[in-house]
Amino acid sequence: MSDWPEWPVARLADLPDPGARGFLVGEGDWPFRGLVVLQQGQLYAYANVCPHARHPLDFPAEHFFTPDKTLLRCSSHGALFDPGSGECVLGPCLGRGLIALELRVVADEIRVRAPGSLQDLDLEFSRPAGTS
C-alpha cells in the first residue's frame, strides 16, 4: 500500500462532519474509486467497494450514510459499516470490512494513497482481529 501514489482527493473545508465524499483517481477503463469520511472530527479513507458484491457503496452518487448519519451503507444490498473502522456491522458481509487507505491532510487538502486502477487493488477484504 505504501508504494501507491498519493492523490489529492478533496478539501477538508468542503467535507461536513459527519460527511463523506467519493473520489475517482487514475486513468483508463478501471479508475480507482474511494471515499473519505469525516465523523466526530476524525478522518478516514476507504476503497469504495462493498466486500459483499464488490459494488460501489453509493447509489445515487455521494449517498454513503444512513439517514441518521451514524453508519455507512451499501445501497445495493443494505450492508452497514462502522465509519471509523470500516467493519460491516449488519448485512451480507458481516464480519468483513472496507479496505482502509492511508491519508494525510496538507494545509486544507486531503491526500490519499491509492492505486491508479481498481485492477491494482487486492480485493481480499479485511476481517476484524481474531477472526479467520
Q: What is the CATH number of the domain that holds 82?
A: 2.102.10.10
Residue 76 resides in a domain: yes
CA count, 13 A, side-chain hemisphere, 80: 8
Per-position pLDDT tens, the chain of length 132: 568 999 999 999 999 999 999 999 987 778 899 999 999 999 999 999 999 878 899 977 788 999 999 999 999 889 999 999 999 999 999 989 999 999 999 999 999 999 888 777 766 555 544 444
Domain count, the chain: 1
Residue 1 resides in a domain: no
pLDDT value for 23? 95
Residue 66 resides in a domain: yes
Q: DSSP code of 23?
A: E
Residue 107 resides in a domain: yes
Q: 38 with 45: CB under 8 angstroms? A: no
Greatest Cα pair distance, the chain, in angstroms, is 40
Q: Is the dihedral of CA 56, 61, 65, 67 positive or negative?
A: negative
Predicted TM-score (pTM) of the model is 0.89
Residue 131 resides in a domain: no
Residue 130 resides in a domain: no
Q: 100 with 126: CB under 8 angstroms? A: yes
Residue 82 resides in a domain: yes
Residue 127 resides in a domain: no
DSSP 31-72: -EEEEEEEETTEEEEEES--TTT---S-SSTT--B-TTSSSE
Domain extent, residue 13, equals: 6-120
